[in-house]
Chain A
């Protein structure tokens, strides 16, 4: 097969040229920047630890988007940038949710201990008082 991909790429080129002819479509610089900053936010939210799969997906797609942009493939660059962006957002929100849930669970355990301790102290105080 002189490959569908090849035909498709040729067609994209035609489209790209057609569009360029009307109005120059710049590379999706903005989308790439958005994706980049979403990835950074995810990294800051410790996604590497809590949402590894999503973060890796975001990084890979960002790399693809950049490569596409380097080859002047605006269409693929834009799509991959958008997908990298949502992957990164999912990585960030997943990491945050997991961390907060961990904290909530710890809080519950702490409360349980505190209640037990208070109960124990009250009991021992009540037992000790009436001499």
Chain B
């Protein structure tokens, strides 16, 4: 051991003599290492995302400084450790940058989902309407309008036929999924019969649809039923086919939580 030490001492003396020309280079490398570590330390992202690498860089810098002190201004060990220090500080910086970018990507993904979700809620509800299959659904300014035709009722009564159950299940499920939405049920008849009778019939049909929805667990607060009688025909009433089109119940699902405006009855009694 002692012999090694002596040899090492002689070696360093010789190296010291021999190495004057490269001394500035070693100093420069060490200075570069110090700056690299200082730069990494100044970046809060580095201490946040790459503390282990920063720590390693600091320790390597201590080694480099130690080697430089031990053997004077110039030596290979100091330059070597200084080089490792600089690279490690850069690695810390790059790892932190990667994490920052990953954070940005994550935030972006969340943002995208939010946009898609709200777009989904605001869009013409094609996707949602598709769920309410079997019913004519159309988007209007009042909301999503579904039409149940009169085959779902026995003639002249407000009793819902069993065929309506599936549609009502779907509507109730839709309302459950969209708790902010309200539903307005509007009943209409053809022009046969007296106006009063038609209004009453349309109101009780709307009511029975409303009851059916409320019975499926939807808060009555969210449900409104209106009977318009023969007002607002969608067809001419001139023949049986168009009269049938007029006998209908429209179900309006609000866009968001807004209250659905009623229809303005023109020339009402």
Binding site for B on A (CB under 8 A): 4, 7-8, 11, 14-15, 18-19, 21-22, 79, 82-83, 86-87, 89-90, 93-94, 96-97, 100-101, 103-104, 107-108, 110-111, 114-115, 118, 121-122, 125, 129-131
When A83-B80, A96-B94, A97-B97 are in contact, do A114 and B115 touch as well, CB less than 8 Å?
yes
- Closest-CB distance, A93 to chain B (whole angstroms): 4
Binding site for A on B (CB under 8 A): 1, 3-4, 7-8, 10-11, 14-15, 18-19, 76, 80, 83-84, 87-88, 90-91, 94-95, 97-98, 101-102, 104-105, 108-109, 111-112, 115-116, 118-119, 122-124, 139-141
Query: In the complex the two chains form, is A83's CB within 8 Å of B98's CB?
Result: no
Query: In the complex the two chains form, is A103's CB within 8 Å of B7's CB?
Result: no
**Which residues in A have their C-beta under 8 angstroms from that of B122?**
118, 122, 125
Ordered by A's residue number, 20 sampled pairs between the chains whose C-beta atoms are within 8 Å are A8-B15, A11-B11, A19-B4, A22-B4, A83-B80, A83-B84, A87-B87, A89-B88, A89-B91, A93-B91, A93-B95, A93-B98, A100-B102, A103-B101, A111-B112, A121-B119, A122-B119, A125-B123, A129-B139, A129-B140
When A7-B18, A100-B101, A122-B122 are in contact, do A79 and B94 touch as well, CB less than 8 Å?
no
Kindly name the residue among B10, B98, B111, B116 whose own CB sees the greatest number of chain A CB atoms within 10 A.
B98
Query: In the complex the two chains form, is B4's CB within 8 Å of A18's CB?
Result: yes
Query: In the complex the two chains form, is A107's CB within 8 Å of B108's CB?
Result: yes
When A86-B91, A90-B91 are in contact, do A108 and B108 touch as well, CB less than 8 Å?
yes
A57 to B6, CA, bound (A): 36
Query: In the complex the two chains form, is B109's CB within 8 Å of A107's CB?
Result: yes
Residue from B10, B14, B98 within 8 A of A100 (CB atoms): B98
**Which residues in B have their C-beta under 8 angstroms from that of A115?**
115
